[in-house]
A and B are shown apart, each in its own frame.
Chain A
Amino acid sequence: MKADALNGQLEPLILATIAEEPAHGYAIVRRLEQRSGGAFELAEGTVYPALHRLERDGLLSSSWSLEGPRRRRVYRLTRAGRATLGERRREWGRFAKAVETVLE
């Protein structure tokens, strides 16, 4: 699946990925890959500006943690992020149902 097909969907996908437990950038990218079965042809770097955008919008919060010699930025969902994720899931459900109806 080309990256263009993900237009506007990357943010809810990231929110869903972090919803279970907080994660750093690399873990988020790997989870996205695993949960999609490697379906998205995504430049992994594009996840980072999206993370910054979500944090700026108050949907994620982040903190630096020290793991061995490395400093890592760990992202977690805020209350607003959780609410937005629920909303986007409902929207997507309606959209997918409508497209499926037309295609069938």
Chain B
Amino acid sequence: MSWLEHLEGELTHRGVRGREREHILLELRDHIACEPGCEVRLGDPASLAASFAEELGTDRVRRSALGAFAALAVTAVVLAVSQLAIGAAGGPPGFHHGLSLLLFVPAALGMLVASQVALVAGCLAALRALRRTGARCLCRRRSSRCCSGARGSP
């Protein structure tokens, strides 16, 4: 197995897929093409893949947080419009109304759907943030173990 294939496998294993993975491999393929045989100096593929996964994980958490924020903002707008629409229709109508029912049904649906979207986006963002916190804690534990080992050595 070549160094690049090893890196590709490690990236996939750590959840770096699709275009992101292709770009990383393209860059490193170019590096190796510049100086064939320099793979050893590039370092361990597993460590390198872990560094990339860490970087891209930060990106994803950031995007997820922004997505959740956008979903909440859209929900707020939809709720405001819904309230105005219901108000303009003369309050929540009975089901016998003609025009007011036409306004009420999409407004009520919007209120329900938008809040669901915001809830799911918020939950996904929180889940990614929690996963990321877990990864960071692991790194801290590892580094503190290294520090304590260093102190203990003569």
A46 with B48: CB separation less than 8 A: yes
Query: Could you tell me if B58 and A48 are in contact, using CB atoms closer than 8 angstroms?
Result: no
The answer to whether A44 has its CB under 8 Å from any CB of chain B is yes
Across the interface, name the chain A residue whose C-beta is closest to B50: A49
Interface 1/0 per residue, A69-86 and B, CB below 8 Å:
011110000000000000
* Nearest chain B residue, comparing its CB with the CB of A49: B51
With contacts A43-B44, A45-B42, A46-B48 taken as known, whether A71 is within 8 angstroms of B55 at the C-beta atoms is no
Contact with A along B54-70 (1 / 0, CB 8 A): 11101100000000000
Of A26, A29, A49, A72, which is within 8 A of B48 by CB?
A: A49
Nearest-neighbor residue (CB-CB) of A24 within chain B:
B30
How distant is B119 from chain A, measured CB to nearest CB, in Å? 28
Contacting A53 at CB < 8 Å: which of B23, B33, B55? B55
Contact (A44, B44) CB under 8 Å given A49-B52, A56-B55, A73-B23: no
Contacts of A73 in B (CB 8 A): 23, 26-27, 30
Is there a chain A Cβ closer than 8 Å to B41's Cβ? Answer: yes
Question: What secondary structure prevails in chain A residues at the interface with B?
Answer: helix
Interface size on A, residues (CB 8 A): 17
Q: How far is the CB of A23 from chain B (nearest CB, A)?
A: 12
Query: Do residues A45 and B30 form an inter-chain contact, with CB atoms below 8 A?
Result: no
A21-48 toward B: CB 8 Å interface, digit per residue (1/0)? 0001110010000000000000111101
- Given A43-B43, A56-B59, verify A48-B28 contact (CB < 8 Å): yes
- Distance in angstroms from B47 CB to nearest chain A CB is 8
Contact between B59 and A25 (Cβ–Cβ < 8 Å)?
A: no
A97 within 8 A of B: no
Q: List 6 A-B contacts (CB under 8 A).
A: A25-B31, A43-B41, A48-B52, A70-B33, A71-B26, A71-B30
Task: List 20 additional contacts besides A43-B47, A49-B48; criterion CB under 8 Å.
Answer: A25-B31, A26-B30, A26-B31, A29-B31, A44-B31, A45-B48, A46-B51, A48-B24, A48-B27, A48-B48, A48-B52, A49-B52, A49-B55, A53-B55, A56-B59, A70-B33, A71-B26, A71-B30, A73-B23, A73-B30
